[in-house]
Amino acid sequence: MSATPLLNDSQWLKLIEYVAATYNEVTLSRGFTHFKQEQVKQLTLSEGNTVQARVEEADTYQVSVYLDKLSLSQCTCPVQHACKHLAAVLMELADRQGYLASQILSAKQYLKRAAASSDLDAAKQQLPTMDVTGWHRWLNQYTSSIKPSFDQSIYAENLRKSLASITKASVPFTDREYPYWELHQSLFILRKIKELQLQAGPIHYSSSTIYRIAEDLQIWLKNQRDVVGSLENSALLEQTSAYCREQMAEDAGQKYHDFGIYMTFWQHWILPGPEAASLLPAEIAELNKWLDEQPTPSLAAAKAYLLLRMAEGDMAWKALEESPGFQAAPANLFITFLTMLTETQNWELLVDWLHKSSSFFNTRRTRELEIYANMWKTALAHVPESEEQMWRIFEDFLPQSLRVIEQMLYEQEKWKPWLEMQMLFGHDPFHHRVSVLQPIEKANPSLLLPYFHQAVDHYVSLKNRRDYKAATRLLKRLEKVYKKMKKTERWDTYFSGFVERHSRLRALQEELRKGKLLE
């Protein structure tokens, strides 16, 4: 057969249309079987754009396909026209010409999809005239052929790849409109993943996908500097806020994905604008309407966030308290509010909320507790009189807060209680790098004496060569501490008594001589 293509896209479409109008599904299915079993032999091109082929099964049949007039195509089998042998030859021809034989097998469905695609392409040009509800309806139709996967990350990636074909050049959005379009594509993917999670069946694989999508979307929102503070597209701004409110109303649990996106949208796209303050009361009123009809933790968090932006701390806390499942709220939710108060430098309100939210951080989750402690450190730098309140809270957190208290005591150079905690933990000077104890040795070396003496006695009591070596090393460091204090006579008195008490421990005496503490 000639290497010159017999079919172009226009001719291929005519061929598909002919098959859809002429062949039934049973005949096409049987023809596809002959094609897959490679029963089409000697397919050649004759004069007049005619394809000749032989199909071998129980008998052998000659097939002639007239590409210029497909209705005249014929086979030597008893059916003669529109038979399975002709269908097999058409599929073989398509395969050799670089087209999909399966599209002939499903010719009617192919034409339906092509028509729908054509309608979608036409509608794509109308996207700038639609509201965001129309966008989501169009996105749903555009991705309808993408089947959900048990692996949510694969499903999300397939959706993303499909939408990547909608470039900025292909849709007549303005530069101000296009970021909203990009935002709603990501919101659409997030919604599809949430819908997948709600379906029955084993769809829990890669359940972290929804967290990753939400986090990536928040990062993207923060980086869209060109739209910050722009109220040029006020309709899109209002519609996007309304969409986020609707999604938060559907979140009856404590996930807060949609709240995080809503908050980031307001924080980075709306609040920096010159007219932002005038939008807050109206937005809170809209949230109240939703809360009256369908109260959810996410909606309550959104209301609290906006009230905090208005410095209405008590009202914001009340909004959270009145939300369903408030006592089960995760510590990360409060970290969000505390971070916002830190960024806005509202120090008095930060201290108030650190106190009010303290019970949510009294857990074994060390990461959240460390973040909470760092928030307190920041607050103390600006409101030092709140230190006593902070220590009471961390004392109430014991024993979970032991490590946090230890670190804060060290950072505040409260050496005496810090050293007492080390002895309480059963630590000794070997537990730390030398640089950790150096500030204490410089500021108040006498505080180190009980720490070193206790450790020396402990290692000697173990009565083995290795621990005698450790005791000797500690004694050498202890001697330096006494010299730092300019109390060498006290060292001499202590050491001579130590040697006399342990004079029968020959191994210890040997280690002291090796360490040049004894002659």
**What per-residue string of b and e applies to 168-187 under the rule 16 or more CB within 10 Å gives b?**
eeeeeeeeebbbbbbbbbbb
Please state, in angstroms and rounded to a whole number, the distance separating the CA atoms of residues 385 and 230. Answer: 41
Whether residue 283 contacts residue 306, with contact meaning beta carbons closer than 8 Å, is answered with yes
pLDDT band at residue 119, thresholds of 50, 70 and 90?
low
Between residues 296 and 8, the one the model is more confident about: 296
Alpha-carbon distance 433 to 442, whole Å? 15
Is 50 exceeded by the pLDDT of residue 113? yes
Angstrom distances, CA of residue 100 to CA of 22, 54, 92, 225: 19, 21, 10, 46
**111-120, 147-156, 237-246, 480-489: least confidently modelled range:** 111-120
What distance in Å separates the CA atoms of residue 368 and residue 72, rounded to the nearest whole number?
Answer: 78
Would the pLDDT of 5 be above 70? no
Mean pLDDT on 49-63:
88
d(CA 27, CA 83): 6
Q: How confident is the model at residue 205 (pLDDT cuts 50, 70, 90)?
A: very low
Could you write out the three-class secondary structure of 493-508?
Answer: HHHHHHHHHCCCCHHH
CA dist 283 and 303 (Å) reads 9
Using the 8-state DSSP alphabet, how is residue 170 labeled? G
Query: CA-to-CA distance for 409 and 423, rounded, in angstroms?
Result: 14
Which of the residue ranges 78-82, 313-317, 383-387 would you say has the lowest mean pLDDT?
78-82
CA distance 390 to 395: 9
Q: What is the CA radius of gyration of the chain?
A: 39
43 CB contacts (<8 Å, ≥6 apart)? 1, 51, 52, 53, 89, 92, 93, 96
Phi, psi dihedral angles at 207 (to 5 degrees): -65, -15
> Do the Cβ atoms of 437 and 452 come closer than 8 Å?
no
Strand 50-56 to strand 40-46: parallel, antiparallel, or no bridges (unpaired)?
A: antiparallel
Task: For the chain, give the mean pLDDT.
Answer: 89
Cβ-Cβ contacts under 8 Å for 486 (sequence gap 6 or more):
none
The answer to whether the CB of 142 falls within 8 A of the CB of 120 is: yes
Q: Assess whether pLDDT exceeds 70 at residue 230.
A: no
Q: What is the DSSP letter of 233?
A: T
Within the chain, what is the greatest distance between any pair of CA atoms?
123
SS3 443: helix
Angle formed by the axes of helices 107-124 and 9-22, to 10°? 130
Question: What six digits make up the tokens of 148?
Answer: 């959900």
Going from the C-alpha of 222 to that of each of 32, 128, 329, the distances in angstroms are: 53, 24, 25
Cis peptide before 281 (omega within 30 of 0): no
Of 292, 294, 242, whose CA–CA distance to 266 is shortest? 242
123 C-beta neighbours (distance < 10 Å), count: 15
Chain segment 398-454, per-residue pLDDT in tens: 989 999 999 999 999 999 999 999 998 899 999 999 899 999 999 999 999 999 999
CB burial string 439-451: b at 16+ within 10 A, e below: ebbeeebebbbeb
* DSSP type of residue 464: S
